[in-house]
Amino acid sequence: MDVLADGFLEALRLLLTGDQDTWAITVLTLQVSLSATVIASLVGVPAGTALAIGRFWGRRAVLAVANTGMGMPPVVVGLFVTVLLWRSGPLGSFGLLYTPAAMVIAQAAIATPIVTALTATALQQVDPDFLLQMRGLGATRLRALGALLGQARLPLVAAGLAAFGAVVSEVGAAQMVGGNLAGETRVLTTAAVLATSRGQFALAIAFGLILLVIAFAVNLAVTLAQHRQSADR
């Protein structure tokens, strides 16, 4: 209990005193994870939509791959991205390994299957005749798809939240492709692991508490937005 109390007090001290290193780590964590979530959403929502309403050869296999990807260990993703970005790898000439960009790539690879699979599941719950009804009312295909996504907007928001939660809390891929370099690629999860390995348990707990505050703030903002939408109906 003393260690937990010390961790809580350390978290308050780091945040309230404006500790430069802690704020830099927190900002980088948000930048990397939010960027990865946006990329995953831009790729995963259209992919999930195609899987939900499309009829093409191999559709079930692709959907199975997306569902499998939801449970892919982050360290495996980190390994593949590391091989791709290694100096002798296919993308080694870009010099992205051990940079925030590499971390965004790895986290986007983790988050995209989550968004894809959850989007497909959400849209499959909508009335299958919805698109036909919209087209019958004279809507263009693009507008009909927009209306379909609007019907499932809350589950789609949940998909984005699930993706963000998965990447902001992962450590394996971030450490493998980022290297946990101080002032460059160190994020909250890798900083917590490093502090634990050094026996700095209060500092590690402090980083963990900051992560919890971020997760709570994001979920609170989305929940308030959802309630506002419901009240406007």
DSSP state letters, 169-222: T--HHHHHHHTT-TTTT--HHHHHHHHHHTT-HHHHHHHHHHHHHHHHHHHHHH
Lowest mean pLDDT among 37-46, 131-140, 189-198, 201-210: 131-140
Half-sphere exposure of 86 (CA within 13 A, CB side): 10
Q: What does the pLDDT average to over 180-201?
A: 90
**Structure confidence at residue 32 (pLDDT):** 96
Domain count across the chain: 1
108 part of a folded domain: yes
**Structure confidence at residue 191 (pLDDT):** 93
Place of tokens 């986290």: 107
**Structure confidence at residue 35 (pLDDT):** 96
- Whether pLDDT at 1 is above 60: no
CATH of the domain at 146: 1.10.3720.10
CB 100 within 8 A of CB 24: no
210 part of a folded domain: no
Q: Closest Cα to residue 102, out of 65, 122, 77?
A: 77
150 part of a folded domain: yes
Neighbour tally for 120: CB within 10 Å: 25
**Structure confidence at residue 158 (pLDDT):** 85
Domain of 135, in residue numbers: 24-202
**Structure confidence at residue 129 (pLDDT):** 67
CB 144 within 8 A of CB 135: yes
223 part of a folded domain: no
14 part of a folded domain: no
**Interval 19-65: pLDDT, tens:** 788 889 999 999 999 999 999 999 999 999 888 887 778 888 888 88
Q: Is 17 helix (H, G, I), strand (E, B) or coil?
A: coil
Q: Closest Cα to residue 46, out of 170, 145, 177, 132?
A: 145
d(CA 2, CA 211): 20
Length of the chain in residues, anyone?
A: 233
183 part of a folded domain: yes
170 part of a folded domain: yes
**Structure confidence at residue 225 (pLDDT):** 67
- Whether pLDDT at 228 is above 80: no
d(CA 62, CA 215): 30
132 part of a folded domain: yes
**Structure confidence at residue 125 (pLDDT):** 78
Label residue 181 by pLDDT band (50, 70, 90).
very high
DSSP code of 96? -
